[in-house]
């Protein structure tokens, strides 16, 4: 049935009827592999087109409607079942069967015997069926007559494009945005596009016209700037709401981050405006006017809706007619989508929508450019850039002289194209898994390149084939000149990607550095160092290495680069054993006299191999040479006779993942750089424990899963604890741990510097996975940044035994500082501070630093140590760090914190090191905390104060050739020397905790040794 019922036809706009006729022709009569596109501005009735095509004029079989989000699914189901038919005053009979499709109910849904069913699903659901439930996916494809994709431009991805295309069902894409990413994935032909412009819709009075109004208030840069901005908006809003046609008007306020959303909402409510703030990171808020999910506009009475991203699409309520833009929207497409929320026109409403924006924002320029852009001829022509390239080449002469050679004009379609493309002698090498399919991988790469704005120049499949079924993609890239602020001028580059598989190894190269990570990461695995290193031999000469500390406690050195004419001939450095070798550059001597040495680069972190070829070979490195080059390397990597050269044994050894993944501790390491943690109100936070015990929490997913609870406290103010339960999930295919925890992500935020947007703690950790470490059940194995490492226990008892000093007085200690009292003048002896400071013979300073001329307590704030002890006569200084644990004989958590503190301030002891940040309080009158305890614990009357004192310490001790520098760790109820050494003597007693202790103390001692600083650890 392709004839509209008369009552329904009378309610449809002309452009809707044209769009429906266009769609019927293509969906019901074209080949299944074709895709078509309808482009209609927001508010012009896309939902009506979907409703007619799926319900009023149903196809022979079922319809699948796809949307990007779950809330749009719910909205569409309501529209297709009821709301659209209420508006159209015509009801389908029988009532439409509209169902939500999920992976959990797919078999139940497919069991329905109805002739006509409309399924509504998210892109994620279809991808899940495509990848994990292939039999259900195939059964679904057999039941479908058509696929309708709504808002498909939103974050298009290769996976969902493939999931739609492989249904092999006629597909219609619907969008309100003229810039179509979908065209790249679906290869829509120009004659398969229906375009109803914004200009047409405004002329036909389908949508509102628009008024742009610049505010006096500039874009707020600081929280205090929000006050005048909100006051000006309030004045505007009060006047507007008094007009007859705007009494029920609603407004949207678009902000730049979550904190601004909350602050603006609160300020507007104080001014008497019924505002609601919406942000996906709000979590469970006490205020009813702060929401994580967008409420149904029909069920709430808020007048002004404040957000960052949530209301850009999917908000369909004609009462919204004002948009206030507070912060710059850097993507014009998002700006147009946002404006579209206020353009829906009510019956008999001829008043324009209003965009109010902060002064200096380029809103007017962007809007005018959009209006000109969407009306230009060939807007949606997918061949536009390809035709431009051919036009440019046709204008080029047959012969040119470049780079010292006479060159023939490039012809993209010539049969010998693969011989014309020069590749790079550099490739990522991955181990192929059983799920890897060469044709699926190639199809993915073709879509990946097109989605990345690449114009494929090869045959229809997008690639050419070579020896050993190698595949080559040649593409052109169109970009805008970077020197233009708002203008446009094309810049064109050619690029190429090649891939080949040898011996279950995938070699992938791209001249522009592109990497199809989604498919490759899921169906291949990173090559480990031991295998990739086989490319080198014992006779290879390493010239340079990049090193990384996979478990840095505090602001220690994370990365370093070392170069030499022959690193293997140099003596190992003290810190080598705590670093992993990330890459190496080496010369490999020839195996035959007639051959030349080869210069290799191996990148272990990503599995990359490169070679510095001689100019003649480099200039002719085509696909055939790439195949031969990679085949040689594959033979070396798969060789059973070759081994990783002995040189690499000086560095931290990578390890294979344990057979059974059993995580025992999560170690947080957010100590470095400018990273700060805060709650949603901006209060500084700190984890109560940085090492969190994990328990097994497996589910039905088959992935090892663990659970833990992290506790955060405020650094200042009331010490209220916030507990967040989280999950740690291991994905065996990618060898990666992922942190999950919505409440933690919504309650704790991390910022990496002033002016940078904060991120939820969980999101931050997953995007910066070097910031956490996982200790495994195996005592000598830990995980960091998608790799496992082996802790060096060799001679640990001898190495650490000499650092540890037993002090029986520490056995009686019950706290770190004791209870603070306003009138106290010293610390109680049952505290670590008391034991350190005690002047009797059993005090630590009295016992181990009896000749101290100066003792100062620098605790709290930006201290360099808890205590600083100096002897000018003997040119000796000690920085003393104290930490009390939780009655454990071996506590990695307490040690992790104090080691981080020591490393953070180690640079003070270096020559020309910084002065103490709190040097202004280094005087005789400064008090500790809120007590009467003098920070100046010892010092003669002739000693200077403040910066003059520090200059004396610097000249007389730190920079003096005979100066002796020490770092003390004083540990209470956190480390027993006898217990630790007993564990180290007996391998059966090794635990994940002892492994962490070995690594932490070894790391600190190595860093101290490089600065000629002695480390001493006092424990019970």
pLDDT digits 0-9 by tens, 881-940: 999 987 666 667 778 788 888 888 988 998 888 999 999 999 999 999 999 999 999 999
Residue 826 has what pLDDT?
A: 94
Residue 943 has what pLDDT?
A: 96
The residue among 618 and 954 whose pLDDT is bigger is: 954
pLDDT tens, residue by residue, 29-57: 766 567 888 989 988 999 999 999 999 99
pLDDT tens, residue by residue, 405-421: 898 898 887 877 888 89
Please check the confidence at residue 178 and state whether its pLDDT lies above 70: no
Residue 939 has what pLDDT?
A: 94
Q: Residue 482: inside a domain, yes or no?
A: no
Question: Average pLDDT for residues 962-986, to the nearest whole number?
Answer: 89
Residue 880 has what pLDDT?
A: 97
Please check the confidence at residue 574 and state whether its pLDDT lies above 70: no
Residue 924 has what pLDDT?
A: 96
Answer for the pair 254, 283: CB distance below 8 angstroms, yes or no: no
Which range among 180-189, 542-551, 924-933 shows the weakest confidence by mean pLDDT? 180-189
Residue 97 has what pLDDT?
A: 94
Question: Average pLDDT for residues 419-426, to the nearest whole number?
Answer: 93
Residue 100 has what pLDDT?
A: 96
Of 484, 489, 459, give the one whose Cα is nearest residue 473: 459
Which range among 246-255, 751-760, 909-918 shows the weakest confidence by mean pLDDT? 751-760
Please check the confidence at residue 755 and state whether its pLDDT lies above 70: no
Please check the confidence at residue 538 and state whether its pLDDT lies above 70: yes
Residue 208 has what pLDDT?
A: 94
In the structure, what pLDDT confidence band is assigned to residue 999 with cuts at 50, 70 and 90? Answer: confident
Q: Residue 359: inside a domain, yes or no?
A: yes
Which range among 320-329, 500-509, 801-810, 879-888 shows the weakest confidence by mean pLDDT? 879-888
Please check the confidence at residue 947 and state whether its pLDDT lies above 90: yes
Out of 757, 790, 823, pick the residue that ends a domain.
790
Do 637 and 759 sit in the same domain of this protein? Answer: no
- Mean pLDDT is highest, among 463-472, 479-488, 885-894, for 463-472
Question: 825 — phi, psi (to 5°)?
Answer: -120, 0
184: CATH: 3.40.50.10810
Residue 878 has what pLDDT?
A: 97
Please check the confidence at residue 838 and state whether its pLDDT lies above 70: yes
Q: Residue 552: inside a domain, yes or no?
A: yes
For residues 651-690, b (16+ Cβ closer than 10 Å) or e, as one string? bbbbbeeeeebbbbbbbbbbbbeeebbbebeeeebebebb
Answer for the pair 454, 436: CB distance below 8 angstroms, yes or no: no
Which range among 647-651, 670-674, 996-1000 shows the weakest confidence by mean pLDDT? 670-674
Q: How far apart are CA 179 and CA 174, in angstroms?
A: 12
Please check the confidence at residue 182 and state whether its pLDDT lies above 60: no
Question: Average pLDDT for residues 332-343, to the nearest whole number?
Answer: 90
Please check the confidence at residue 872 and state whether its pLDDT lies above 90: yes
Per the rule left: phi > 0, alpha: psi between -120 and 50, beta: everything else, 929 is left
Do 58 and 182 sit in the same domain of this protein? Answer: yes
Mean pLDDT across the chain: 88
DSSP string, 515-534: --HHHHHHHEEEPPHHHHGG
pLDDT tens, residue by residue, 775-828: 898 888 888 878 888 877 766 677 788 889 999 999 889 999 999 899 999 999
Which residues, including other chains, have CB under 8 Å from residue 1012's CB and lie 6 or more apart? 965
Please check the confidence at residue 244 and state whether its pLDDT lies above 60: yes
In the structure, what pLDDT confidence band is assigned to residue 719 with cuts at 50, 70 and 90? Answer: low
In the structure, what pLDDT confidence band is assigned to residue 566 with cuts at 50, 70 and 90? Answer: very high
Answer for the pair 474, 454: CB distance below 8 angstroms, yes or no: no
In the structure, what pLDDT confidence band is assigned to residue 675 with cuts at 50, 70 and 90? Answer: confident
Do 225 and 182 sit in the same domain of this protein? Answer: no
In the structure, what pLDDT confidence band is assigned to residue 274 with cuts at 50, 70 and 90? Answer: very high
In the structure, what pLDDT confidence band is assigned to residue 751 with cuts at 50, 70 and 90? Answer: confident
Residue 937 has what pLDDT?
A: 96
Question: Average pLDDT for residues 362-376, to the nearest whole number?
Answer: 90
Q: Residue 1: inside a domain, yes or no?
A: no
Residue 598 has what pLDDT?
A: 92
In sign, the C-alpha dihedral spanning 220, 225, 226, 232 is negative
Structural domain including 432 reads: 416-477+488-529
Of 702, 700, 701, 719, give the one whose Cα is nearest residue 711: 719
Orientation of helix 363-373 relative to helix 332-340, angle to 10°: 90
Residue 537 has what pLDDT?
A: 92
Please check the confidence at residue 628 and state whether its pLDDT lies above 70: yes
In the structure, what pLDDT confidence band is assigned to residue 717 with cuts at 50, 70 and 90? Answer: low
In the structure, what pLDDT confidence band is assigned to residue 974 with cuts at 50, 70 and 90? Answer: confident
Which range among 25-29, 177-181, 206-210, 368-372 shows the weakest confidence by mean pLDDT? 177-181
Strand partners, 417: none
Do 53 and 194 sit in the same domain of this protein? Answer: yes
How many C-beta neighbours within 10 Å does residue 464 have?
21
Do 364 and 454 sit in the same domain of this protein? Answer: no
Do 227 and 98 sit in the same domain of this protein? Answer: no
Q: Residue 216: inside a domain, yes or no?
A: yes
Residue 482 has what pLDDT?
A: 86
The residue among 681 and 338 whose pLDDT is bigger is: 338
Please check the confidence at residue 674 and state whether its pLDDT lies above 70: no
Residue 509: which H helix or E strand, with range?
strand 505-510
In the structure, what pLDDT confidence band is assigned to residue 718 with cuts at 50, 70 and 90? Answer: low
Q: Residue 45: inside a domain, yes or no?
A: yes
Which single residue is written with the structure tokens 């501070």?
Answer: 833
Which range among 72-86, 496-510, 896-910 shows the weakest confidence by mean pLDDT? 896-910
In the structure, what pLDDT confidence band is assigned to residue 175 with cuts at 50, 70 and 90? Answer: confident
- Mean pLDDT is highest, among 185-199, 510-524, 621-635, for 621-635
Residue 187 has what pLDDT?
A: 75
Residue 262 has what pLDDT?
A: 92
290: CATH: 3.40.50.300
Question: Average pLDDT for residues 759-768, to the nearest whole number?
Answer: 86
Please check the confidence at residue 526 and state whether its pLDDT lies above 90: no
Please check the confidence at residue 450 and state whether its pLDDT lies above 70: yes
Residue 169 has what pLDDT?
A: 92
Please check the confidence at residue 181 and state whether its pLDDT lies above 60: no
Q: Residue 483: inside a domain, yes or no?
A: no
**What number of residues does the chain have?**
1020
Bond preceding residue 94 cis, omega within 30 of 0: yes
Please check the confidence at residue 659 and state whether its pLDDT lies above 70: yes
Out of 758, 790, 822, pick the residue that ends a domain.
790
Of 324, 333, 316, give the one whose Cα is nearest residue 374: 333
Let me know if 1014 is exposed, middle or buried by CB neighbors in 10 A (0-12, 13-18, 19+). Answer: middle
Out of 790, 815, 841, pick the residue that ends a domain.
790
Contacts 24+ apart (CB under 8 A), 828-834: 831/884, 832/882, 832/883, 832/884, 832/970, 832/972, 833/857, 833/859, 833/866, 833/882
Question: Average pLDDT for residues 493-513, to the nearest whole number?
Answer: 96
Q: Residue 185: inside a domain, yes or no?
A: yes
Please check the confidence at residue 680 and state whether its pLDDT lies above 70: no
Read off the tokens for 14: 């002309």
pLDDT tens, residue by residue, 136-157: 999 999 999 999 998 755 545 6
Residue 32 has what pLDDT?
A: 57
Query: Percentage of residues in the chain with pLDDT exceeding 90?
Result: 53
Do 565 and 509 sit in the same domain of this protein? Answer: no
Do 663 and 777 sit in the same domain of this protein? Answer: yes
Strand partners, 547: 560, 581
Question: Average pLDDT for residues 519-548, to the nearest whole number?
Answer: 91
The residue among 715 and 731 whose pLDDT is bigger is: 731
Do 806 and 938 sit in the same domain of this protein? Answer: yes
Do 393 and 426 sit in the same domain of this protein? Answer: no
Question: Average pLDDT for residues 517-522, to the nearest whole number?
Answer: 86
Of 243, 314, 298, give the one whose Cα is nearest residue 75: 314
Do 285 and 386 sit in the same domain of this protein? Answer: no
Do 301 and 357 sit in the same domain of this protein? Answer: yes
Please check the confidence at residue 554 and state whether its pLDDT lies above 70: no
Which single residue is written with the structure tokens 């564990």?
Answer: 983
Read off the tokens for 408: 């023939």
Read off the tokens for 534: 């086989």
Residue 825 has what pLDDT?
A: 93
Answer for the pair 612, 426: CB distance below 8 angstroms, yes or no: no
Answer for the pair 215, 359: CB distance below 8 angstroms, yes or no: yes
Please check the confidence at residue 688 and state whether its pLDDT lies above 90: no
Of 170, 159, 220, give the one whose Cα is nearest residue 35: 170
How many domains does the chain divide into?
Answer: 7
List the end-to-end C-alpha distance of the chain, in Å, as a whole number. 88
């Amino acid at each position: 049935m392709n004839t509209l019922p008369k009552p329904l036809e009378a309610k449809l706009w002309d452009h809707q009827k044209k769009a429906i006729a266009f769609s019927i022709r293509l969906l019901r009569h074209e080949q299944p592999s074709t895709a078509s596109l309808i482009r209609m501005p927001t508010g012009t009735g896309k939902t009506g087109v979907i409703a007619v095509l799926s319900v009023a004029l149903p196809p022979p079989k079922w319809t699948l409607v796809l949307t990007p989000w779950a809330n749009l699914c719910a909205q569409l189901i309501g529209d297709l079942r009821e709301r659209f038919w209420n508006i159209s005053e015509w009801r389908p009979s029988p009532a439409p069967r509209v169902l939500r499709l999920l992976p959990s109910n797919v078999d139940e849904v497919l069991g329905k015997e109805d002739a006509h069913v409309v399924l509504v699903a998210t892109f994620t659901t279809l991808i899940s069926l495509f990848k994990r439930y292939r039999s259900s996916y195939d059964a679904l494809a057999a039941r479908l007559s058509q696929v309708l994709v709504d808002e498909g431009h939103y974050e298009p991805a290769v996976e969902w494009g493939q999931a739609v295309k492989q249904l092999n069902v006629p597909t219609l894409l619907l969008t309100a945005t003229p810039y179509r990413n979908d065209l790249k994935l679906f290869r829509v032909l120009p004659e398969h596009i229906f375009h109803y412009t914004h200009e047409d819709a405004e002329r036909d009075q389908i949508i509102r016209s628009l008024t742009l109004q610049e505010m006096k208030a500039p874009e707020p840069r600081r929280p205090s700037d929000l006050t005048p901005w909100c006051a000006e908006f309030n004045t505007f809003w009060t006047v507007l709401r008094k007009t007859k046609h705007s009494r029920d008007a609603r407004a949207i306020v678009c902000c730049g981050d979550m904190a601004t959303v909350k602050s603006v909402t609160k300020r507007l409510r104080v001014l008497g405006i019924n505002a609601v703030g919406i942000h996906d990171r709000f979590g469970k808020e006490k205020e009813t006017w702060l929401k994580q999910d967008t409420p149904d506009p029909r069920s709430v009475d808020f007048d002004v809706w404040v957000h960052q991203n949530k209301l850009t699409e999917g908000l369909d309520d004609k009462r919204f007619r004002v948009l206030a833009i507070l912060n710059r929207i850097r993507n014009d497409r998002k700006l147009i989508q946002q404006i579209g929320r206020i353009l829906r026109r009510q019956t008999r409403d001829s008043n324009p929508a209003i965009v109010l924006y902060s002064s200096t924002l380029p809103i007017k320029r962007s809007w005018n450019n959009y209006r000109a852009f969407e009306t230009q001829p060939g807007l949606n022509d997918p061949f536009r850039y390809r035709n431009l390239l051919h036009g440019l080449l046709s204008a080029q002469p047959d012969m040119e002289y470049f780079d010292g050679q006479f060159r023939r004009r490039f012809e993209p379609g010539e049969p010998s194209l693969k011989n014309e493309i020069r590749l790079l002698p550099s490739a990522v090498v991955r181990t192929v898994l059983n799920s890897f399919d060469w044709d699926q991988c190639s199809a993915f790469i073709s879509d990946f390149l097109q989605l990345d704005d690449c114009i494929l120049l090869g045959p229809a499949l997008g690639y050419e084939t070579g020896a050993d079924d190698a595949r080559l993609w040649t593409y052109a890239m169109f970009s805008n000149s970077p020197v233009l602020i708002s203008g446009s001028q094309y810049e064109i580059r050619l690029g190429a990607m090649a891939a080949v598989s040898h011996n279950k190894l995938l070699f992938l190269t791209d001249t522009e550095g592109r990497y199809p990570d989604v498919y490759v990461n899921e169906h291949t695995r990173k090559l480990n160092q031991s295998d990739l290193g086989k490319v080198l031999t014992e006779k290879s000469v390493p010239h340079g290495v990049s090193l990384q500390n996979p478990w840095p406690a505090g602001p220690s050195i994370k990365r370093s680069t070392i170069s030499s004419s022959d690193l293997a001939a140099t003596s190992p450095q003290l810190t080598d054993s705590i670093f992993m070798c990330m890459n190496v550059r080496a010369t490999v001597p020839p195996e035959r006299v007639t051959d030349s040495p080869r210069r290799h680069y191996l990148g272990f972190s990503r599995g990359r191999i490169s070679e510095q070829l001689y100019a003649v070979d480099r200039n002719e490195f085509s696909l055939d040479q790439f195949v031969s080059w990679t085949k040689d390397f594959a033979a070396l990597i798969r060789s059973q006779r070759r081994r990783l050269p002995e040189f690499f044994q000086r560095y931290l050894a990578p390890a294979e993942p344990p057979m059974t993944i059993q995580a025992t501790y999560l170690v947080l390491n957010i100590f470095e750089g400018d990273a700060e943690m805060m709650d949603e109100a901006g209060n500084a936070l700190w984890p109560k424990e940085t090492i969190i015990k994990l328990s097994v929490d497996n589910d039905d997913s088959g992935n090892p899963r663990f659970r833990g609870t992290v506790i955060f406290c405020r650094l200042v103010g009331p010490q209220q604890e916030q507990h967040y339960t989280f999950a740690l999930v291991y994905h065996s295919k990618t060898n990666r741990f992922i942190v999950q925890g919505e409440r933690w992500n919504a309650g704790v935020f991390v910022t990496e510097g002033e002016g940078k947007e904060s991120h939820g703690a969980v999101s931050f950790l997953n995007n910066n996975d070097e910031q956490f470490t996982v200790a495994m059940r195996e005592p000598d194995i830990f995980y960091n940044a998608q790799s496992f490492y082996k802790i060096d226990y060799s001679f640990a008892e001898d190495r650490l035994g000499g650092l540890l000093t037993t002090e029986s007085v520490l056995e009686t200690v019950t706290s770190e500082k004791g209870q603070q009292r306003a009138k106290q003048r010293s610390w109680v002896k049952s505290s670590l501070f008391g034991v350190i400071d005690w002047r009797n013979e059993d005090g630590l300073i009295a016992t181990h630093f009896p000749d101290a001329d100066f003792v100062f307590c620098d605790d709290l704030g930006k201290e360099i140590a808890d205590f600083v002890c100096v002897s000018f006569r003997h040119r000796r200084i000690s920085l003393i760090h104290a930490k009390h644990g939780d009655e454990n004989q071996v506590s990695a958590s307490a040690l992790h914190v104090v080691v981080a503190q020591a490393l953070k301030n180690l640079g003070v002891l270096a020559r020309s090191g910084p002065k103490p940040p709190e040097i202004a309080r280094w005087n005789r009158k400064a008090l500790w905390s809120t007590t009467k305890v003098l920070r100046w614990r010892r010092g003669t009357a002739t000693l200077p104060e403040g910066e003059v004192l520090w200059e004396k310490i610097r000249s007389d001790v730190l920079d003096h050739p005979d100066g002796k520098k020490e770092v003390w760790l004083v540990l209470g109820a956190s480390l027993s020397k006898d217990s630790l050494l007993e564990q180290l003597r007996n391998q059966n007693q090794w635990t994940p905790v002892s492994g962490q202790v070995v690594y932490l103390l070894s790391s600190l001692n190595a860093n101290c040794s490089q600065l000629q600083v002695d480390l001493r650890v006092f424990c019970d």
